[in-house]
Structure 1
């Protein structure tokens, strides 16, 4: 039996710097030896600039979670939203649930719920951009490293990164045999199984297979009169797998990655009039396991996604040539009771909860989606003061979107159908140079030329029945209408940064960067007849920071201050007077704030992390107004003229000013193994759900606490761990999103979740 060395404490701490709620991690023998020798925090290597570098020396505001840390945070049934409020200036939300995450960095994001929506935060997995929001929802498992880059990343990573970038790198095959298996069981019969195994097949070829299976029972009862049914919503089955082959010989390597996902479940439940009029409280007697839907039996969500990538690298000593070819495809259908209640006001007393002006049942589908990407770059490996990277990038995406409307009162009969088609082609040429001016001062400069072109067609085949009541000469009553739009633009992105080594433990940096988000088009014309377009938004960001190791390497303090100015920001008017979206540009948007990211080895048995960020955003356009609902249950605080709210001076939606996270980990050697306990506290301050401001649609601040306790031990070539855990320990529940066009419909965060987990690692 292997004895758990004293250094295991430090290693497990390092491997769980950000984990507390969902799981824990294991250390390798090599990591144990390093920790025993140094008794310091581990050096975090990142690829934020497409080179392997020490995170403390990179002139970019970046937070990195490596290897098992991410597995720990995302285990026990969590989807990618587990990172919400866990990293400075990062928040994630969704009105679909597990399938359509929306990312916000430094307050910049996009609330658009249409499947054609673009986002200003890009997601890159294994060097392949995941453009469509459905691709961004792929489960997180067997990942070696995640990096969150804050601020514009347009030089190396291209368009649609004015806010930042989230970058995942999965565990790659190697000649060393290893693997793991874990299973957890929790509230509402939730089961999470994941595992991986890999090793050498020949002297030059290795492989790794990774799998995930998550399942949760329906647990939400429907109590709408005439539609009563227990356990009808809230569940899902999510399956995913990845297989990789790595060929290595001499100075050449080839990595083939194939991944696939199938998810079946129900969307996040909408809850009619769940927000109390005149406040942002949930109504008295709110129950998270009860809804009142007259379409609950027809609600479903289904996702199928797959992709393949091939990465080729040639090491020519002085240069490395890299080619990355990727194909991604996704299909999704999501149908929900959007009004969140039953009946309608024109039926007399048969409506609820509260007043339901009209029924709304709709479905969004992505029947066809294909994305092709190709990157070719050359990087120098000079020993001297000068190095560079340059390359070419090509992007080709074809999307087909179906939007359906249904007559709930007629048993869900189809009464509206629109198809949208969009083809996007983009290409870019880019380059960066690094120059060591002195032993302590390094400069980096980059340029990227991007060209973007979109062609869009929307065809309405069926008009919703309620629209047929309007005057026949109105265009919105016509069927078989076609709307077309195109958008194109080019842009030169750039950045300049300097890093200065103040001493062996402190690095200072400054960075100025400019980039853009390509033009966007929306044409959800089921309930309207207008296709809208938003021109490119451009941003210039200024930031300065310090990255320091303190207390002889037992502490780490990184801090950043920043300011950005955005021209022609793309805004999405979501909802308002109809179940649709409308694009527009705001003249100016400014933002400023700071970020603090720290790690501490307080004692040999106690480790802590603490991060804090402040973000202030402000829209500056006195002429921009948003159509808003007019009803007694909604208290709008912006100036309203002719049914439109003027939003000049407002903060951006889903942009909390404060985000903070604290983790503590205590461990103690016990009976040849180790007992451990984690605690995690995450906080985000108030948010606005929409561009306009109102009392009811200001989300309250949210604090969630996690706790995990367990025991880890080793036997032979196996490492074991058993643990109990809780998420949202104090069961704090409140609205986290809303739908405004019908009633005060709310979406609510998940309540308390408790469970047990067992994990084994073998090598």
Structure 2
């Protein structure tokens, strides 16, 4: 185990203290500073739905963190996409090689680096109780959200397939009979404008509605300086619109909630930067400029995403003893994303190239012209007053997915002409039956047992009609299937009125995955189901007469047949593989403090150690980097003993929140410091593709006041205050192409809330 350097902790603490402000995120239990909790100097009780019941977060035997209230608003507002949660919650990181779409989640080191549009992930996203299976669905903007919950560890019993690492759960603000709403507008760096708002109230005594809107826009600001392709302000911008309409009917023993949501994104993908990583180190090159690229295909780069969905949740109270719940949902997404993948201009076999060595040009695109997902859940929950309660249910999942892969000839008589095309078709059908039972053994000891049977089947085809390397036409089909029994056993023991101890053992799986990206290869690869068994124990405590809260957990897991993607490499072909065994262990600490009547703080810290254990597993390596793993006779890196990619050992977040009366209102400041340690970008280890530790500081200050029935707020804010710039991802098959984190962002916001 590597020890965290004391200088790293000191940096985190000092940066937060000297930023002279206050925290915006309450990463286990965020409290609204103007609520009752702040007034009586104690932390509020946080109600969550991690187990599909409304429960006190401190009494749930699951490692769960939540963002809500002022913390969630400060992080997610003003042009942020779902990646705002990266390193804000213990053991959670998020990254994307597509930019504002296709986020990839990692919990306790487990995730998936695969950028194929058919890639599955071991961390599931559930929005308003509907699973968002395809990665494009996961990128829906975050606005008018009441609470975000992150459940760490396997969640297969209640939430099903593809949750062996954990679950991220969003609950939007629901309609009510009260007339209320808000509107906010912000302006920031590079001409970024953000507007969001919502309004809702009762239409009749039983029917209410809520309409939520989002509009975000940012100018293109990245100049292209490639010789012969010079163009100003060609990349980096976007225009995004989204809306959500909800209707809630509340009868005597029946409620019905209808939700329709839609998204439209038109922009450019994340900028790829050729040879931006200095060879022999993991530093950016000396002359790096964030707003400059050297592309020969920048003028054709585009990213367009459209998605929509609807759900209907019906609930009946039966004889005061049972609740019957039905959730029917449909989700649909389309995307087309095209980019200069090599990140430079020219090639080694052409008269000119740069920056650095470009072995060959690469311009490609991926698209989903059609995707439809249908889900149905039906569950029965008991509401007994005694020691025993349970849930039972059935679940059905049906997805039809079409994926297109394109390759383009950057040079020749017609630059940008198509020279490779693959169409993938996949139909997935899955169903499950599940149950969970809670039993109170004594006044202080409760036990929960859960069981789920899942059945999963895919029908897949990949049809290549044209290959950029002369491979010719090819049609391949596969139909993998599997079933699995997931289970969990947990106990919760009340040590005292303020301290709960829990222990949990859980097993779950990820269904078989398929990789059919055959533009450059001649095989469809399949990863068999992965299974995980996790052991964890922890405490959840309220201390100092309710002015402090400390939650801590330790865990250990073993994963058999982990699904991994050998991304890129010199062979330029993605291949799915299974590792014999992967182990992980670590700890998580989540705290919140009321320091004074005006000052609150949170601090969280997590350590994750992951290790691949497979002495026969080897993958292709980069074209120009220095590999530090041992290699076999075929020049492939041997992965045995490696940690998982994009799995930082350390994640930490420190926040401070200060508020005091001033004049007719309140002055407030928020600050946060987020840290994650070094990461590997790929399965193999190399000098250039080890990402440096990343520390980002955010600050927000403003003033709120009431006038009539309205509350007003003005604020100024900065993200990545010290403008730390470094590579956060890479492409390895051609050159040392890097993706870089967002530069410093400065802005101002005005908000009005009405009641």
Q: Normalising TM by the smaller chain, what interval? A: over 0.9
Task: Name which of 514, 524, 528 aligns with 1:521.
Answer: 514
**Do residues 274 (structure 1) and 276 (structure 2) align?**
yes
Deviation at 1:638, TM superposition (A): 3.4
Deviation at 1:678, TM superposition (A): 1.5
Residues of 2 paired with 1:611 and 1:313: CA distance? 37
Aligned to 2:664: 672
| Maintained 8 Å contact 1:630/1:643 | no
**Do residues 459 (structure 1) and 463 (structure 2) align?**
yes
- Secondary structure (helix, strand or coil) at the match of 1:723 reads strand
Task: Name which of 331, 354, 357 aligns with 2:356.
Answer: 354
Deviation at 1:640, TM superposition (A): 4.2
Aligned to 1:685: 677
Residues of 2 paired with 1:158 and 1:567: CA distance? 18
Residues of 2 paired with 1:654 and 1:16: CA distance? 25
> In the TM superposition, what are the counterparts of 1:502-521 in structure 2 within 5 Å?
502-521=495-514
> In the TM superposition, what are the counterparts of 1:58-457 in structure 2 within 5 Å?
58-316=60-318, 317-348=320-351, 350-410=352-412, 411-457=415-461
Residues of 2 paired with 1:537 and 1:46: CA distance? 29
Which aligned runs of 4 or more in structure 1 are off by greater than 4 angstroms?
A: 13-17, 24-28
Q: Deviations over 1:381-405 (max 9, x none)?
A: 0000000000000000010000000
State the TM-score, normalizing by the size of structure 1: 0.94
> How many pairs were matched up?
730
- Secondary structure (helix, strand or coil) at the match of 1:345 reads coil
Residues of 1 paired with 2:22 and 2:64: CA distance? 17
| Maintained 8 Å contact 1:15/1:25 | no
Residues of 2 paired with 1:652 and 1:635: CA distance? 16
Specify whether residues 514 and 119 from structure 1 end up closer, same or farther in structure 2 by C-alpha distance, changes over 3 A only: same
Aligned to 2:725: 733
Q: Deviations over 1:304-336 (max 9, x none)?
A: 000000000001110000000000000000000
Specify whether residues 217 and 292 from structure 1 end up closer, same or farther in structure 2 by C-alpha distance, changes over 3 A only: same
Task: Name which of 533, 544, 568 aligns with 2:526.
Answer: 533
Aligned to 1:18: 26
- Secondary structure (helix, strand or coil) at the match of 2:71 reads helix
Deviation at 1:716, TM superposition (A): 1.5
Residues of 2 paired with 1:354 and 1:211: CA distance? 45
Residues of 2 paired with 1:60 and 1:16: CA distance? 24
Task: Name which of 45, 48, 52 aligns with 2:47.
Answer: 45
| Maintained 8 Å contact 1:192/1:214 | yes
Residues of 2 paired with 1:26 and 1:552: CA distance? 19
Residues of 2 paired with 1:245 and 1:320: CA distance? 20
- Secondary structure (helix, strand or coil) at the match of 2:359 reads coil
> In the TM superposition, what are the counterparts of 1:646-665 in structure 2 within 5 Å?
646-665=638-657
Deviation at 1:486, TM superposition (A): 1.1
| Maintained 8 Å contact 2:582/2:613 | yes
Deviation at 1:35, TM superposition (A): 4.4
**Do residues 589 (structure 1) and 592 (structure 2) align?**
no
- Secondary structure (helix, strand or coil) at the match of 1:409 reads coil
Unpaired runs of 5+ in structure 1? 1-12, 469-476
| Maintained 8 Å contact 1:85/1:659 | yes
Residues of 1 paired with 2:22 and 2:478: CA distance? 52
Q: Deviations over 1:86-108 (max 9, x none)?
A: 00000000000001100000000
| Maintained 8 Å contact 2:629/2:639 | no
Residues of 1 paired with 2:566 and 2:731: CA distance? 12
Specify whether residues 68 and 205 from structure 1 end up closer, same or farther in structure 2 by C-alpha distance, changes over 3 A only: farther
| Maintained 8 Å contact 1:16/1:25 | no
| Maintained 8 Å contact 1:14/1:41 | no
Deviation at 1:651, TM superposition (A): 0.1
Residues of 1 paired with 2:91 and 2:69: CA distance? 22
Residues of 2 paired with 1:754 and 1:96: CA distance? 23
Aligned to 1:474: none
Deviation at 1:69, TM superposition (A): 3.4
Residues of 2 paired with 1:388 and 1:45: CA distance? 19
Residues of 2 paired with 1:273 and 1:635: CA distance? 16
Q: Deviations over 1:631-684 (max 9, x none)?
A: 4x4344333431211000000000000000000112221112111112110000
| Maintained 8 Å contact 2:22/2:655 | no
- Secondary structure (helix, strand or coil) at the match of 1:503 reads coil
Residues of 1 paired with 2:151 and 2:31: CA distance? 24
CA RMSD of aligned residues (A): 1.4
| Maintained 8 Å contact 1:629/1:643 | no
State the TM-score, normalizing by the size of structure 2: 0.95
Aligned to 1:472: none
Task: Name which of 740, 746, 755 aligns with 1:754.
Answer: 746
